[in-house]
Chain A
Amino acid sequence: MAESSSQKIPVTVLTGYLGAGKTTLLNRILSENHGKKYAVIVNEFGEIGIDNDLIIGADEEVFEMNNGCVCCTVRGDLVRILDGLMKRKGKFDAIIVETTGLADPAPVAQTFFVDEDVQKNARLDAVVTVADAKWLSDRLKDAPEAKNQIAFADVIVLNKTDLVSKPELAEVEARIRGINPYAKLHRTERCKVALSDVLERGAFDLDRILEIEPDFLEAGDDHDHHHGHDHHHHDHGHGHGLKHYHDEEMQSLALRTDKPLDATKFMPWLQNLVASEGQKILRSKGILAFSDDDDRYVFQGVHMMLEGDHQRKWKDGEPRESRLVFIGRELPEQTIRDGFESCITS
């Protein structure tokens, strides 16, 4: 995935808890007049009303890689289906993978990290999670899958906003932000969202880690300003800002320093961190400034899988800052902070 070739077919992963509106969004994507053809991998046949000969039923078969790592799971059915679809290259522009409401998005994403053939032909574009504004707060309490899906998301479509009051909406947004402050959040009714907000996001493109996320690492105490459809910013009138929620289980952790990092310390530290804590770390991303290196280094990871590369030269006048973010479950915050500190060039 490091070489972001435009030849590679973009794959969007569509998740969301049962009843949130995944199928509505999928039908919207397929029926809108965009001139593009999508191959759709669904978990159940017959749910989609649109006539499309490129709808493929999947079984969500996950298997563990034989590398001794229990979280290195891969969707074998996806490997097979993508392989088969590549025989029809040119017949479609992009692929959408719909997961079941109870699915963990990690095995889907990891499939793109570990499978050579998948990497050659396709690239993971973004994980899009559809959430139900009315019921998400409850699900975050009782359904670990729902929390996983929010934590993993690059884009969150907060749907059915017409069914909740403004304070309720503010509450559910705060709960989402307590878990994942970095995803783009769109408030919708009946999944009415501009397709450009959910497709072709390049969220896993190392080159675009910053480009598409201007508020990357800065959103921690703010809600998302990137929208512009049918809705206005919600009310700030009460003067206390957005309510803060700290999710006991799932959090994000942002690190930054304007001092250069020592690559010979940082790389082993990061690799050890994901090796030992990878089950807890759902997503990680970073932009790094190493001492004696004029190139920006970028990386991203899913659980224990990491990929990184030198991206480009630091520009003149551009602050040489290192910034990292981890989203995960019961993150050992102090350990991570201390470890990061120790990688700063003394």
Chain B
Amino acid sequence: MTSGFAPGGEQASIASVTDRVRPVAIGAPVTAIHFLGPRLAFVGAEESVTLVDAQGDGQGAISRVTVHDGGILCTASDGARIVMGGDDGKLVALDAKGEVTLLAQDAKRRWIDNVALHHDGAVAWSAGKTAFVRGGRREDKTFDMPSTVGGLAFAPRGLRVAVAHYNGVTLWFPNMAANPEFLEWAGSHLSVVFSPDNKFLVTAMHEPALHGWRLADNRHMRMSGYPGRVRSMSWSAGGKFLATSGADAVILWPFASKDGPMGKEPAMLAPLQARVSAVACHPKQDVLAAGYSDGTILMVRLEDGAEILVRRNGTAAVAALAWNAKGTLLAFAAEDGDAGLLPL
């Protein structure tokens, strides 16, 4: 990650699609975006979600749905619903019609810090040190970790949950009597992701680094050199690369070979004189969208790093990016609630 690159200068010469962006005024800080059926959901920092018609011009049919009685701490979506946890101790689901369902409520009103969704409908969440899983008709399963849960992820296959915490990750099989597997690595592990092929597990740590394990043999992968903490990770189509925020360029770790990024240098794409704050890979093509701390948004081709300008700099940091499932729409929002939609 130390190889040199020329800092990106003015973007005057690069292709621009800024004139095709449809602005959406949310008017409140946004922390996450999810496409929800025909609608687009901008999750606020507190209390509400703003629903917008994804096919519209961004101006009409905006509705605001109250989902929490306080801060919204975590979200996950499967495209049909968004599940959110809040500092009101509630776990709620929101569907495309705008209907809110209370899924769980912590008896001690502890914060619901993390949530994950399985493609078969199972939900995992955590409050303090306790991880919960609800799947199918079975009753909720709980598991107490040695320390507060930093992140949750469902494995792509089977009902298996990765729970990140201090000094490692616990792989938990909620429906099996077997002992959970513990992957150890000193430090505080926050968000956690499985590679789409189920071969690798990667955590973003409190320190500016990623840590990975090859699940076949638990071999370690240290991915360090970031100037800032990694807050956004996204797998490219097919899982060949893991794109990450946290540096002045998009850091792209290669995962196509059986050794993953072991012994390899990451690619650095789209360097600017601003920190990458959000990344989202296109669901079908080898293209990603990157948002920066100065408000810039670029679309970047993975193969050669070619850039297209989506949004100019000069505003609050980009807080969230999302593609629809077909990859025909890119939605974004800045920390101050200034948002937009780009049809491709």
Contacts and interface: CB of A to CB of B under 8 A. Distances in A.
Interface of A: 45, 53, 56-57, 59, 61, 63-66, 74, 76-77, 79-81, 84-85, 87-88, 91, 115-117
A41 to B, nearest CB: 11
Contacts of A85: 71
Interface stretch (B105-113, B155-163, B213-221): B105-113
A57 B110 contact: yes
Nearest to B31: A87
B69 to A, nearest CB: 8
Contacts of B186: 64, 66
Interface string B19-57: 000000000010100000000000001100000000000
Given A76-B148, A87-B29, 4 more contacts: A57-B110, A59-B148, A84-B71, A84-B87
Contacts of A76: 147-148, 150, 166, 188, 206
A114 to B, nearest CB: 9
B206 A61 contact: no
B337 to A, nearest CB: 13
Q: Which of A65, A66, A77 has the most CB of B within 10 A?
A: A66
B66 interface: no
Contacts of B83: none
Nearest to B73: A84
Contacts of A61: 147-148, 166
B70 A53 contact: yes
Contacts of B167: 63
B128 A59 contact: yes
B7 interface: no
B148 A79 contact: no
B342 interface: no
| Interface residue tally on B, bucketed by range | 20 to 34
A57 B129 CA distance: 12
A77 B188 CA distance: 10
Given A61-B147, A76-B166, A84-B111, A116 B228 contact: yes
Which of A45, A56, A87, A117 is most buried by chain B, counting CB atoms within 10 A of its CB?
Answer: A87
Contacts of B206: 63, 74, 76, 79, 115
Nearest to A65: B207
B229 interface: yes
Contacts of A65: 187, 207
B228 A87 contact: no
A63 B129 contact: no
B251 interface: no
A80 B148 contact: yes
A60 to B, nearest CB: 10
B268 interface: no
List the 5 shortest-distance A-B pairs measured between CB atoms, nearest first: A87-B71, A87-B45, A76-B188, A88-B71, A66-B187
A88 B46 CA distance: 7
Contacts of A59: 128-129, 147-148
A63 B188 contact: yes
Interface string B51-89: 000000000000000000011110000000000000100
A83 to B, nearest CB: 9
23 contacts: A53-B70, A56-B111, A57-B110, A59-B129, A61-B147, A61-B148, A63-B167, A63-B188, A63-B206, A64-B186, A64-B187, A65-B207, A76-B148, A76-B166, A76-B206, A79-B188, A80-B113, A84-B87, A85-B71, A87-B31, A87-B45, A88-B70, A116-B228
A87 B337 CA distance: 13
A193 B188 CA distance: 38
Given A59-B128, A63-B187, A87-B45, A77 B108 contact: no
A77 B148 contact: yes
Contacts of B150: 76, 80
Residue of A65, A76, A91, A115 contacting most chain B CB atoms (<10 Å):
A76
Contacts of A81: 111
A88 B228 CA distance: 23
B205 to A, nearest CB: 8
Nearest to B207: A66
A244 B265 CA distance: 62
A76 B190 CA distance: 10
A85 B229 CA distance: 18
A57 B89 CA distance: 12
B75 to A, nearest CB: 12
Interface string B100-122: 00000000101101000000000
Nearest to B129: A59
Nearest to B147: A61
Contacts of B148: 59, 61, 76-77, 80
Contacts of A74: 188, 206
B123 to A, nearest CB: 20
Nearest to B224: A66
Nearest to A57: B110
Contacts of B187: 63-66
Nearest to B69: A53
A117 B229 contact: yes
Given A63-B166, A66-B187, A80-B148, A57 B72 contact: no
B108 A45 contact: yes
Interface string B187-205: 1100000000000000000
Nearest to A53: B70
Interface string B157-180: 000000000110000000000000
Contacts of B209: 66
A116 B246 CA distance: 12
Nearest to A81: B111
B304 to A, nearest CB: 32
A57 B127 CA distance: 11
A110 to B, nearest CB: 13
Nearest to A59: B148
Contacts of B87: 56, 84, 87-88
B316 to A, nearest CB: 13
Contacts of B45: 87-88
Contacts of A84: 71, 73, 87, 111, 113
